[in-house]
């Protein structure tokens, strides 16, 4: 299975709720868990990892509950079989440098880690196109990302806990990255002045309240072809309706730091003024 950038988001978000692998399964996306896996991911052992040997043609795997020793065993024994690896709830792995030994790896998703502090050497990951890292508590510096020769898509941020922070997006300046998605708590230097220099960048996603409205509008004006969830004056949404007891009341989320969510009804002028100011800054 080849992992292409436009499909990567769907792949990392989907739930692979398959049964424990058996020899009659036709799935090629393997789901490898410990027999006693719990909400924390459990603790998988080498014998359980060896179930992969029954599926030599599988190219995609989701694996849970690795510690440092079992992570190293998995990568050394089976890593080169896969084009896409989804590491899910492997929070105790502290050194992932062996990932540099996987030149055929195309896509990697890793959810939740409490030990890792720096990226691995990506210079030998010649096929690596897409990486998404969610809920990393100690990884703040993205230096080294520029060494990935084929990387097109990078995502970093929060899936469950609103705690992810990075120092800067500047490591991406001299790359051919096509899409950056940041869903974390904050970028410490808050610098996006260099984004217009990134000629390969097509999509830049970030939370609506991360930057000021003025900063977002300026970026829109300088990069008119750049796409992104928050690159607009507001986001349409549905608010909770007290009468119907459902989320069916039209609303908008104004883009910009400390900007509110408003019901459309009764706030038409406020919304129009916000849009006019946003567009004026972008045009200037």
Question: What is the pLDDT at residue 222?
Answer: 97
Is the pLDDT at 17 greater than 80, yes or no? no
Question: What is the pLDDT at residue 242?
Answer: 82
Q: Are strands 234-241 and 246-254 parallel, antiparallel or unpaired?
A: antiparallel
Kindly report whether the global pTM for this prediction surpasses the value 0.85. yes
Phi, psi of 160 (to 5 degrees): -125, -55
Lowest mean pLDDT, pick from 10-14, 62-66, 175-179, 180-184: 10-14
Domain 5-206 has CATH 3.40.50.1100: no
Question: What is the pLDDT at residue 235?
Answer: 97
Bridge partners for 61 per DSSP: 30, 85
Q: How confident is the model at residue 182 (pLDDT cuts 50, 70, 90)?
A: very high
Question: Count of CB atoms within 10 A of residue 7's CB?
Answer: 14
| pLDDT 10s digits, 87-116 | 988 999 999 999 999 999 999 999 999 999
What does the pLDDT average to over 64-84?
95
Question: Count of CB atoms within 10 A of residue 110's CB?
Answer: 24
Among the listed residues 241, 251, 253, the one whose alpha carbon sits nearest the alpha carbon of residue 208: 253
Q: How confident is the model at residue 28 (pLDDT cuts 50, 70, 90)?
A: low
- The better pLDDT of the pair 6, 14 is held by 14
What does the pLDDT average to over 206-216?
97
Distance CA 55, CA 77 (A): 13
Question: What is the pLDDT at residue 26?
Answer: 43
Q: CB within 8 A of 243, min separation 6: which ones?
A: none
Is the pLDDT at 247 greater than 90, yes or no? no
Most confident of 56-70, 99-113, 238-252: 99-113
Question: What is the pLDDT at residue 37?
Answer: 67
Q: How confident is the model at residue 160 (pLDDT cuts 50, 70, 90)?
A: confident
What does the pLDDT average to over 152-158?
92
Write down the mean pLDDT value for the chain.
Answer: 88
Q: How confident is the model at residue 38 (pLDDT cuts 50, 70, 90)?
A: low
What does the pLDDT average to over 168-194?
95
| pLDDT 10s digits, 249-269 | 999 999 999 999 999 999 999
Q: Are strands 203-205 and 261-263 parallel, antiparallel or unpaired?
A: unpaired
C-beta of residue 29 within 8 angstroms of C-beta of residue 3? no
Is the pLDDT at 180 greater than 80, yes or no? yes
Q: How confident is the model at residue 244 (pLDDT cuts 50, 70, 90)?
A: confident
Q: How confident is the model at residue 6 (pLDDT cuts 50, 70, 90)?
A: very low
Is the pLDDT at 25 greater than 50, yes or no? no
Q: Report the percent of the chain where pLDDT is more than 90.
A: 73
What are the boundaries of each domain within the chain?
Answer: 5-206
């Amino acid at each position: 299975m080849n992992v292409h950038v436009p499909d990567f988001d769907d792949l990392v978000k989907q739930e692979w709720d398959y049964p424990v692998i058996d020899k009659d399964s036709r799935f090629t996306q393997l789901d490898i868990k410990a027999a006693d896996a719990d909400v924390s991911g459990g603790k998988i052992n080498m014998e359980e990892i060896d179930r992969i040997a029954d599926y030599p043609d599988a190219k995609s795997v989701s694996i849970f509950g690795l510690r440092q020793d079992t992570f190293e065993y998995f990568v050394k024994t089976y890593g080169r079989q896969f084009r896409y690896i989804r590491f899910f709830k492997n929070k105790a792995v502290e050194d992932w440098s062996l990932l540099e030994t996987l030149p055929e790896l195309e896509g990697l998703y890793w959810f939740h880690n409490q030990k890792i502090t720096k990226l691995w050497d990506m210079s030998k990951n010649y096929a690596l196109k897409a990486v998404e890292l969610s809920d990393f508590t100690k990884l703040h510096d993205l230096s080294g990302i520029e060494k990935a020769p084929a990387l097109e898509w990078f995502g970093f941020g929060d899936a469950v806990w609103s705690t992810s922070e990075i120092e800067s997006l500047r490591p991406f300046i001299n790359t051919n990255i096509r899409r950056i998605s940041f869903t974390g708590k904050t970028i410490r230097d808050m610098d996006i002045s260099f984004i217009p220099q990134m000629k390969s960048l097509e999509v830049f996603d970030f939370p609506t309240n991360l930057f000021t409205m003025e900063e977002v509008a300026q970026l829109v004006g300088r990069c008119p072809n750049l796409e992104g969830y928050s690159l607009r004056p507001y986001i349409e949404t549905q608010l909770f309706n007290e009468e119907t007891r459902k989320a069916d009341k039209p609303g908008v989320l104004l883009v910009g730091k400390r900007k509110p969510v408003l019901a459309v009804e009764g706030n038409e002028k406020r919304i129009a003024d916000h849009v006019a100011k946003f567009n004026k800054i972008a045009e200037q």
